[in-house]
Amino acid sequence: MNKAAIVAYGNTKFSTDDIPIESLLLNSTKSLFEHTPNLTQKDIDTVLVSTNDNAKYLSAILSEIAGIQPKTAHTVESLCNSGTNSIVSAYSYIASGLSNVVLVVGAERKNSPGQVLEWDNSRGEYKHPIFWGTIFTKSHKREFGTTEEDLARVSAKNHKFAKDNPNAYSNKVFSIDELMNSKILTDDLRVSDCSRPCSGASAVLITSEQVSKRFTDRPVWIKGIGQKTLSAGFTKNQSFSSMKSTREAAKIAFEMSKLNPSDIDIAEVHDAFTVCELMAIEDLGLASKGEGRKFVKTLYETENRKINPRGGLIGAGHPLGATGIAQVIETTQQLQGTAEKRQIENAKVGLVHNMSAAATSSTVLLLQS
């Protein structure tokens, strides 16, 4: 099996602007080319597009407007998990030898149809994500004594970190008190507990080991991949205070990489809601069950950026198809030592956690410099 390296990346700013999906895809691709001097269109043999947008044939459209004629081009869709799923597809193309240079571009518009899974009728009329986010939050509060202040601290931390991310939609720092007084959505969820759908795009270039040297002297290797899909329906979750698919995906990824949770220097986790960051920290094995809130409190008070240094989905925004790729880019920058104000000292091993539809499926990637 060939090794796969992340060698280049490009981003757009995440915003609430109304931007055509094709422009988003092209802008992040342009950014990637501008930051990768040795790359030409002829080098790319596969183009993957990650999105939930209803537009069709986007990988061919992107290829055409970016002057690429790849052997393989297609779209990957898996709701919020689309970006990391497309990275896994790119890895597979490289590992199998089918491709040597894969361009992966994720993009979403702010009004993405991927925000609500209409199929899941077991949710009755309560299909909007705030309802599963509320049930997770209430259940975590009930089981572990999680408080509104614990949740607000996640949001405060991620907004604070996002201030140093030039591509984040949020550039405002909030106090915990301010967030605890933000608009109430349900008895257990405030607007500050929620990530915001955005327009945005992110692109990475993934290559075989042999080709990687042409583009960078600091490749970041994909060492572990774990994925698990348990169902498509929120109500099928057995627990509502933990994410089984995340636990299973993490186990697979750690086994593949021969790494452990204690090896992780930086983790990008899927904080669709504040409680999801606590659950992810616990289910990935970075803290014991119920101890996520104490873990985050320490990070917040010491300005330790180990979890979600780019501001998470809550601070950076959540353009669904781009999110997983933006998480991979942040981790790559941290491992290359190019994360500027967000840089975690001496980071060697990074984890990316992404999930879809109330954690009915999860992906965990382990990256190493």
Partner 1 sequence: MSIFETELKKGNFVIPECPACKELVWPPSDYCSLCFGELKWKKSDRIGKILEYSRKEDTFFCLAEFEKKIRIIGTLETNLKHPDIGKKVKLDSCSIDGPNYNFTLVLI
We find the least distance from the C-beta atom of residue 157 to partner 1, in angstroms, to be 24
Q: Does 115 interact with partner 1 (rule: CB under 8 A)?
A: no
Considering beta carbons, is residue 122 or 175 the nearer one to partner 1? 122
Query: Residue 37 is encoded by which pair of tokens?
Result: 């001097």
Q: Which of 124, 183, 262, 346 binds partner 1 (CB under 8 A)?
A: 124
We find the least distance from the C-beta atom of residue 358 to partner 1, in angstroms, to be 11
Q: Does 142 interact with partner 1 (rule: CB under 8 A)?
A: yes
Q: Does 135 interact with partner 1 (rule: CB under 8 A)?
A: yes
Considering only residues 215 to 234 of the shown chain, the ones binding partner 1 according to CB under 8 A are 233
Considering only 64-72, 183-191, 261-269, 300-308, which stretch makes contact with partner 1 by CB under 8 A? Answer: 183-191
Q: Which of 16, 92, 115, 186 binds partner 1 (CB under 8 A)?
A: 186
Considering only 184-192, 216-224, 275-283, 343-351, which stretch makes contact with partner 1 by CB under 8 A? Answer: 184-192
Q: Does 144 interact with partner 1 (rule: CB under 8 A)?
A: no
Considering only 1-9, 46-54, 181-189, 284-292, which stretch makes contact with partner 1 by CB under 8 A? Answer: 181-189
We find the least distance from the C-beta atom of residue 122 to partner 1, in angstroms, to be 5
Q: Does 122 interact with partner 1 (rule: CB under 8 A)?
A: yes
We find the least distance from the C-beta atom of residue 4 to partner 1, in angstroms, to be 35
We find the least distance from the C-beta atom of residue 184 to partner 1, in angstroms, to be 9
Considering beta carbons, is residue 3 or 141 the nearer one to partner 1? 141
Q: Which distant-in-sequence residues (6+ apart) come within 8 Å of 320 by Cβ?
A: 51, 52, 79, 80, 82, 108, 112, 114, 115, 197
Q: Does 183 interact with partner 1 (rule: CB under 8 A)?
A: no
Q: Which of 18, 118, 217, 303 binds partner 1 (CB under 8 A)?
A: 118
Considering beta carbons, is residue 188 or 248 the nearer one to partner 1? 188
Number of residues that bind partner 1 (CB under 8 A): 25
Considering beta carbons, is residue 278 or 335 the nearer one to partner 1? 278
Indicate the pairing of strand 200-208 with strand 4-11: antiparallel
Question: Interface with partner 1 by CB under 8 A: which residues?
Answer: 118, 120-127, 131, 134-135, 137-139, 142, 185-189, 233, 235-236, 240
